[in-house]
Amino acid sequence: MSPISFSALTMHSADPERLAHFYRDVIGLPLAPHEHGTVGEHDEGDLGEVHLAVWKASPRVGGPFVPVFRVEDLDAWLLHLESAGVPCLHKPLDLGEGKRVVTCVDPDQNAFRLIEIRGARVPE
């Protein structure tokens, strides 16, 4: 099994407004307020083919920077990860817009996410 692509990078902060301001106004990333699914209001945008999002930090979402890998079948991946003994921090979340995501941890306890995006074009 292989991911389809590197899909996103999520950034987490105790003060997400301050972090979004820095990355938007100082670094120049295309971040804007957005709300969808169960994640609530946050800043997000796309830089090329990579989605960027700034969220409120919590133990459920992992470290300050979390890579997100796109997969075709999240349920198949969950079975694969479970059989490999990889822990996940929560059940898959429905983000709306045909997106489902789960956060898991690698052997060094770094968080990573897998996302399934239904009905979207698959990058070549």
Check residue 31 and report its DSSP letter: -
CA distance 4 to 44: 21
pLDDT tens digits, one per residue of 73-99: 999 999 999 999 999 999 999 998 899
pLDDT-derived band at 124, boundaries 50, 70, 90 = low
- State in words which class domain 5-117 has: alpha beta
pLDDT tens digits, one per residue of 92-116: 999 988 999 999 988 778 889 999 9
Q: CB-based contacts of 18: which residues, under 8 Å, 6+ apart?
A: none
Check residue 49 and report its DSSP letter: T
